[in-house]
Amino acid sequence: MPAMERERLVAHFEMTNRWLTQEVTGLTPAQLAFKAAPDKWSILDVVEHLTIAEPQYWQWVQDCLKQPAGAFVRPKHPDEETLWYGIDRTERNKTAAARESKGELKDGKKGLDQFLKLRAEMLSTAKSTQEDLRGREIQKSGTDLYQWFLMISVHSQRHILQIQEIKASAGYPR
């Protein structure tokens, strides 16, 4: 992996790790459980979603690394589009049922610890892998493995912004 790509990937993971920690740490049970509307997610729901989705996304990375590199030549979009996904919340998509919050997480710290434990493994890989991430396509998506790896961090950024929206909602406990 070129040094600049590695630095960007590592920096993004470090940023989202710190940012999620800052957004969730110290919240009261009422703040964690608050929903702006019955059909909206609480902060606990968001954290639970991340603890469900990221292991699945990470497994896809592991599976892709088992495939030979070099066959994939060009992603269908530039890296900037992957980064933009984390910033632009104007388009909202419902997550797949396999990644939906089940309402089972009751402890924000426990969820955050679970998230950060897996993130430590991801960050270690980002810092050390010598694999060709650009030469592998993830699940016939038109996305290379580098972009997918970056997307994992970008996905959490998107949900961190969702947490900020929850905190800014009318009725959020102060």
User: Which backbone phi and psi does 131 adopt, to 5 degrees?
Assistant: -70, 155
Q: Quick one: 49 exposed, middle or buried, by C-beta within 10 A (0-12, 13-18, 19+)?
A: buried
| pTM attached to this predicted model | 0.92
Assigned CATH for 3-90+99-168? 1.20.120.450
pLDDT interval class at 40 (50, 70, 90): very high
- Mean of pLDDT values over 67-86: 84
- Contact between 49 and 100 under an 8 Å Cβ cutoff? The reply is yes
